[in-house]
Amino acid sequence: MQLRLHIWRQAGPSAEGMLKTYDIGNVSEHMSFLEMLDVLNEELMLKGEEPVAFDHDCREGICGTCGMVINGRPHGPASRTTACQLHMRSFKDGDEIYIEPWRASAFPVVKDLVVDRTSLDRIIQKGGFVSVNTGNALDGNTLPVSKIDADLAMDAASCIGCGACVAACPNASAMLFTAAKIGHLGMLPQGQAERSTRAMRMVLHMDAEGFGGCSNQYECEAACPKGISVDWIARMNRDFVKSSVVGRE
Amino acid sequence: MQLNSNVPDGPLESKWDDYKAHLKLVNPANKRKYHVIVVGTGLAGASAAASLAELGYKVTAFTYHDSPRRAHSIAAQGGINAAKNYQNDGDSVYRLFYDTVKGGDFRAREANVYRLAQVSVNIIDQCVAQGVPFAREYGGYLANRSFGGAQVSRTFYARGQTGQQLLLGAYQALERQIGLGSVKMHCKNEMLDLVIVDGRARGIVSRDLVTGAISTHMADAVLMCTGGYGNVFYLSTNAKACNVTAAFRAYKRGAAFGNPCYTQIHPTCIPVSGDYQSKLTLMSESLRNDGRIWVPKQKGDTRPPDQIPEGERDYYLERKYPSYGNLSPRDIASRAAKEACDAGRGVGPGGKGVYLDFADAIERLGIEVVRDRYSNLFEMYERITGEDPYKVPMRIYPAVHYTMGGLWVDYDLMSSIPGLFVLGEANFSDHGANRLGASALMQGLADGYFVVPYTLGGYLAKGGFDKVSAEGPEAKAARVASQEKVQRLLAIKGKRTPASFHRELGKIMWDYCGMARNEAGLKKALELIPALRAEFWSNLSIPGTGEELNQTLEHALRVADFMEFAELMCLDALHRNESAGGHFREEYQTEDGEALRNDEDFCYVAAWEYAGESTRPILHKEPLTFESVELATRSYK
C-alpha cells in the first residue's frame, strides 16, 4: 500500500519542531509499524537525509521503549498494543498517518520522536520497591499469598513503563503508572511494611516532576497497552489519604 | 596466557560453601572506599549493582537504554528453574545440576553448574521477598510448570512475563540504591572500550548517546553484564540494540573468549514474513507443555491444516523422542524442525514452518484453561500474524535466541584480565553447548545476587589498588582511540547503510554458521566476512554528526564489531570437529542424524586469545573434567 506520513521532526531539546510530510510506497500489511519506519529511514539515508529518530528495542511489546502518538492515539489505533506490535494491516492504502512524540512537560523531547522518561524512574526511586537486601529472604513458601491477590498484583505489575498513560492524559498525569506500582506492592504481604510511606513519597514526587493530577478522563486506561485498570488509581488515592491522616512522615 | 579455572578442591557438594567460608573479606567500613563499575543493567547487572551497593561498595552503573528496566531480560517469557522440590516429584540440587550439565551436552564446567543449582533456591526466596508476583496455587503456595529437558516440574513463573517480573524486582532494588545515593546510574551511555592499568581492569570508555560525548570512568573493578551476541545473525529474538561490542572490546584488550560458536537456536519462533523483517519473536517454550508439533507426512502437502487427517500427520518429536516428546531440548527440537522443512514437508509461505497445534489441548482441557495458561502468547501471535491460534495451529520455525559462548571466566566469574568480572549471558560458563529453558534467568540472577558479591570481595580484599586517573596515559589512549574510531566511521561517506551491511552479515552467518555447519561452508564464510568488512569500511554512510543523538552511528559502531567477531565465531565452529548441543557439524552425526560428540578430542572449553589485526587468534584449552557425572551420549528417546 501507499501511505502519506506526517512526522514530527525536532533536531534537539531546544530546537523548534515541525511536522514534515513523507510519501512511502510498497508497504506490506505484514510489516510492523516500526518496520515501516525502518524502510522509510533506509530510503531517507540513501537520499542523504537524516533518518527519523525513534526509540525502540525488544519489538515484542514488553520493554516499553517504543512510544509515539499515531493519529492522535498513543501507540496507535489497535487496543492493548504497543507501537512495535502494531501491524500495517491496521491501515489501508492511501491513508495519511500523523506521528508525534509523547507530549508532556515531564517528558522533554530529546530528538524527533524520542523523549526523556527518566522522571518515571525517579518516581520509583521514592518508594517503588520492597526494602529487602539480598540474603534477607525466608523460604518463598513461608508466606502464602492467595491466588486472587497474586493475580491482581500481577495485573498491576504488568505495567511496562512506556508512558502512554501520560501521553494520553489531558493533564499529562502519571497517576496510572504510579498507582500500578503502589497497587502491585500493596496487594502483597511483602509490601505492607512500607505501604503508607510508599504512597506518600511516590505521589508527592510525581507532582514534583511536573506531572499533572487526575480528573477522571480514563484516557490512560484506554491507551495502556497492558490494559491496566483505573481502579488502581482509586486504590492509590485511598493509600495516600490514609497515609496523610495516620502516616508518621 | 595461562588459564586457571580456580575451581576449589574438595567434594562437589561442599566446594562453594567451603570456598565462601575462606574467602578474604573487606571490612564494612572499608567497602565504601572501593569503587565498582557495572556495565549493563539487565538481570545480572541490576542484581549485582544493587547487591554490591547494599553491601556498601561505591557503584557506578551504565546502560545504553533510557532506563535499566528496558534490558532484554525483560522479554523472557516462560520461567526460572529452581531445585525447590515443592512438587514432591523427586527434584533436588543434584538433579537440577545433572539436567543442566546433560542439557549442555557435557561442555560446561561442573563446579560452576553445581553452584548454580545450589543458589537457585535462594533466588526464588529473594524474588518472593521483593514482591515478584509469581504464579500461586489456590492454597497460596508457589506454582510450578514443566520445561524442556527435565522430567520434574521445577519452573517458577509469572504468567508469560517471568523475565519482566524478575527484572523489575532487580530494577526496583537498583532504583532503591540509586535513590539512596549508593549507585550512580548513567543511562543512555554505551561502553566502547575497557581501560587496563598495570594489567588490571580499572575503567571503561563510554559514549553518551544523547550528547555524543566520549569519556573515561575509573574504578577498582569492572563488571560486564552485557548480554549475548545473537544479533550477529541480524535476525534473532534479541532486542534490536543487543550487541557484542563491550565483550569484543574486552577480548581485544586481552580477555579470552570462550566457545563463541555455541549459539542456541530456539525451536518455537514466528517464521520470517518478508525482507523488511527486523527481528524474530519467540513463542515461549512453555507452549510445548500443551501444544503438539507436527508436519504433513507427504512432501509438498499444501492443504490447510484442518483438512489433513490425523493419519497423514507426522508428530515427529513424539515419534522420534517418545520419552520427552514435545518437551525435547531446544537444540534437538530445532534440528528436527529444520530436517522436516529441508525434506520439503514444511508449511506456510516458503515451506519454512511447522505446526504447533493446540486442538488436542483445547479438547482435553477446555478453551478456558488454555486461555488462562497462554492467552498473552496467543494474543501476541495473532497480533503479528493475523491468525487466531485458538482456531488455526500456530506456525513456528527455529530462530537464533541465546549465546552460550561468552567471555571466559574462572570460578570467581573473573575473566583472564584481573579485575574484569563477567556475569550472565555475557560469560560462557554454565550452559555448555546448549542451554535448557528457564535457566538463563536463573544464571543471570545467581551471578548477580549470590556469586559476585562474594567473589568480588575476595578479589578486592587482596588490595594493592594504586590510585588511577581518567587522565592517566592508558585511560587517555583508550578514550582517544574510541574518538578516532567514531571519526573514521563518519568520514567514510559511502553509499550503504549500517543496516544493509548487518543484514548481509547475518545472512552469511545464518547460511554457514547457523543451525547446521560444515567445513566447506565455514571456510566460505571466512572468505566472505573479511570481504564484506572491507566494503563496510569503505562504503558506509552515516548521516549526521557524532555530537548528537545519532542512532545510525550507534548501529554502525555495533556492526563494526560484529564484522570482526563473526570471523572468530566461524573459526571456533571450524576447529570444533564434533557436534555438541547447539553446535551441529554435518560431518559429525550418528546414523539417525543425532549430534555426535567427540569426548576424546574436544572435551574442553575453547578460549581464544586476541593476537592482533591480521594474526589468527591463539587457542587455549581448558580441559573439562567431570567428577560426579559420567559422560554419556544424550538420549531423550
Whether complex ipTM tops 0.90: yes
If contacts are CB pairs under 8 Å, which of residues 132-161 in chain B contact chain A?
Answer: 133-142, 158-159, 161
pLDDT over 90, % of chain A: 98
Annotated domain spans of chain A: 3-111, 118-246
What does the pLDDT read at residue B126?
A: 98
- Residue B204 contacts by C-beta under 8 Å, 6 or more apart in sequence? B37, B39, B62, B191, B192, B193, B194, B195, B216, B217, B222
For residue B198, CA distances in Å to B202, B205, B208, B475 come to 9, 17, 27, 12
Q: Is the pLDDT of residue A50 over 80?
A: yes
Contacts with B380 from chain A: Cβ below 8 Å: 60-61, 85
Question: Fold for domain B473-623?
Answer: Methane Monooxygenase Hydroxylase; Chain G, domain 1 (1.20.58)
Kindly determine whether residue B274 and residue A45, on different chains, have CB atoms separated by under 8 Å. no
What pLDDT, in 10s, does the model give residues B169-211?
Answer: 999 999 999 999 999 999 999 999 999 999 999 999 999 999 9
Kindly determine whether residue A61 and residue B65, on different chains, have CB atoms separated by under 8 Å. no
End-to-end, the C-alpha distance of chain B in Å comes to 42
With H, G, I as helix, E, B as strand and everything else as coil, classify residue B141.
coil
- Confidence band for B46, pLDDT divided at 50, 70 and 90: very high
Helices and strands (H, E) in chain A, number of each type: 8, 7
pLDDT over 90, % of chain B: 91
Tell me which DSSP letter residue B447 carries.
Answer: I
Annotated domain spans of chain B: 266-401, 473-623
Cell of A220: 490512560
If contacts are CB pairs under 8 Å, which of residues 324-363 in chain B contact chain A?
Answer: none
H or E element at residue A19: strand A18-24
What does the pLDDT read at residue B78?
A: 84
Contacts with A78 from chain B: Cβ below 8 Å: 383
pLDDT over 70, % of chain B: 100
Measured distance CA(A52)–CA(A46) in Å, rounded: 13
Task: Closest CB to B175: pick one of A38, A125, A154.
Answer: A125
**Percentages (nearest 5) of helix, strand, coil residues in chain A:** 40, 15, 50
Strand segments, DSSP code E, in A155-245 are: none
Asked if the C-beta of A226 comes within 8 angstroms of chain B's C-beta atoms, the answer is: no
A198-202, B146-150, B159-163, B376-380: least confidently modelled range: B146-150
- B306: exposed, middle or buried (Cβ count in 10 Å: 0-12, 13-18, 19+): exposed
- Inter-residue contact B559 to B248 (CB < 8 Å): no
| Cβ density class B617-635: b for 16+ within 10 Å, e for less | beebebebeeeebeeeebe
- Confidence band for B150, pLDDT divided at 50, 70 and 90: confident
What does the pLDDT read at residue B637?
A: 79
Give B91's Cβ-side CA count (13 Å radius).
Answer: 26
**Mean pLDDT, rounded, for A141-169:** 97
What pLDDT, in 10s, does the model give residues B200-254?
Answer: 999 999 999 999 999 999 999 999 999 999 999 999 999 999 999 999 999 999 9
Query: In 10 A of CB A125, how many CB atoms?
Result: 20
Kindly determine whether residue B129 and residue A132, on different chains, have CB atoms separated by under 8 Å. yes
What does the pLDDT read at residue A205?
A: 98
A31-40, B114-123, B141-150: least confidently modelled range: B141-150
Q: Is the pLDDT of residue A204 over 70?
A: yes
For residue A190, CA distances in Å to A131, A142, A195, B175 come to 10, 12, 10, 18
Shortest CA distance from A47: residue in chain B: B495
Cell of B39: 556495565
Q: Is the pLDDT of residue A248 over 80?
A: no
What pLDDT, in 10s, does the model give residues B493-544?
Answer: 999 999 999 999 999 999 999 999 999 999 999 999 999 999 999 999 999 9
Kindly determine whether residue A59 and residue B282, on different chains, have CB atoms separated by under 8 Å. no
Measured distance CA(B210)–CA(B464) in Å, rounded: 37
CATH class assigned to A3-111: alpha beta
- Active-site residue numbers of B? 330
CA distance to partner chain B, nearest, from residue A244 (Å): 22
Q: Which CATH number fits domain B266-401: 3.40.190.10, 3.40.1500.10, 3.30.470.20, 3.90.700.10?
A: 3.90.700.10
What does the pLDDT read at residue B350?
A: 86
Query: In 10 A of CB B587, how many CB atoms?
Result: 12
**Mean pLDDT, rounded, for B445-449:** 98
Measured distance CA(B229)–CA(A7) in Å, rounded: 33
- Inter-residue contact A233 to A175 (CB < 8 Å): yes
**Mean pLDDT, rounded, for A130-153:** 96
What pLDDT, in 10s, does the model give residues B341-392?
Answer: 999 999 998 899 999 999 999 999 999 999 988 888 899 899 999 999 999 9
Give B239's Cβ-side CA count (13 Å radius).
Answer: 25
Shortest CA distance from B271: residue in chain A: A30
Asked if the C-beta of B51 comes within 8 angstroms of chain A's C-beta atoms, the answer is: yes
Question: Fold for domain A118-246?
Answer: Fumarate Reductase Iron-sulfur Protein; Chain B, domain 2 (1.10.1060)
What does the pLDDT read at residue A114?
A: 98
Q: Is the pLDDT of residue B636 over 80?
A: no
H or E element at residue B481: helix B473-492
- Residue B382 contacts by C-beta under 8 Å, 6 or more apart in sequence? B388, B389
Shortest CA distance from A78: residue in chain B: B383
**Mean pLDDT, rounded, for A141-145:** 96
Task: Closest CB to B158: pick one of A46, A139, A154.
Answer: A154
Contacts with B239 from chain A: Cβ below 8 Å: 57-59, 63
Measured distance CA(B546)–CA(B91) in Å, rounded: 54
- Inter-residue contact B79 to B134 (CB < 8 Å): no
Kindly determine whether residue B176 and residue A129, on different chains, have CB atoms separated by under 8 Å. yes
For residue A59, CA distances in Å to A111, A113, A157 come to 20, 16, 20
- Confidence band for B284, pLDDT divided at 50, 70 and 90: confident
